[in-house]
């Protein structure tokens, strides 16, 4: 399984299943190595690649679950695609629904979600973010640019009622 980006609930469920299986394999391998008398330091070295994969997978699952709760943080501009996926997930929208709302082709939007938004005009990105119910903020930081979004209040919340 490629633990790069979870974009749907089906991918989330599959990733959790893979993680569960990998966790069981790590425990089984650890027990086997202990039974063979391997010391802790050597065992840690042998199990590091598998544990690293589990950690990476868990981080991607956690990112998806935070997006489901609407907890979207600031990201480097190059990760804007991940942020857009998060906004779409937080709104419980399919790729097609988000593309339709923004007046874009789903394949076009999907390509940008996977490959980044660097080639998309900033106006189009801002419209997409707005159509998903957010306001985008871009800030210059030492390493380049960072992007953050905040959810726009509902109409009744804006005017106090």
Per-residue pLDDT of 87-146, as tens digits, reads 888 888 888 998 888 888 899 888 878 776 666 776 777 788 888 888 777 777 777 777
9, 17, 51 from 67: Cα distances, Å: 12, 19, 24
Do 101 and 121 lie in one domain? The reply is yes
Last residue of a domain, one of 50, 68, 86: 68
Q: Is 160 a residue whose pLDDT tops 50? A: no
Q: Is 1 a residue whose pLDDT tops 70? A: no
CB 80 within 8 A of CB 60: no
pTM of the entire predicted model: 0.69
**Which CATH number belongs to the domain containing residue 109 in this structure?**
1.10.260.40
CB 105 within 8 A of CB 120: no
Do 63 and 138 lie in one domain? The reply is no
Domain count, the chain: 2
In a domain, 22, yes or no: yes
Domain that residue 129 falls in? 75-158
Q: Is 26 a residue whose pLDDT tops 90? A: yes
Phi-psi region at 80: left, alpha or beta (left = phi > 0; alpha = psi -120 to 50): alpha
């Amino acid at each position: 399984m490629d633990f790069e980006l979870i974009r749907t609930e089906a991918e989330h469920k599959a990733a959790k299943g893979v993680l569960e299986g990998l966790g069981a394999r790590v425990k089984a391998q650890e027990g086997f190595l202990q039974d063979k008398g391997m010391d802790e330091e050597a065992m840690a070295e042998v199990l590091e690649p598998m544990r690293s994969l589990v950690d990476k997978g868990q981080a991607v699952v956690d990112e998806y679950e935070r997006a489901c709760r609407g907890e979207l943080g600031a990201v480097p501009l190059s990760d804007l695609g991940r942020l857009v996926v998060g906004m779409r997930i937080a709104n419980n929208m399919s790729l097609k629904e988000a593309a339709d709302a923004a007046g874009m082709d789903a394949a076009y939007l999907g390509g940008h979600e996977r490959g980044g938004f660097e080639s998309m005009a900033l106006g189009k990105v801002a419209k997409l973010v707005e159509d998903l119910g957010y306001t985008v903020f871009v800030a210059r930081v030492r390493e380049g640019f960072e992007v953050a979004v905040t959810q726009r209040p509902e109409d009744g919340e804006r005017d106090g009622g």
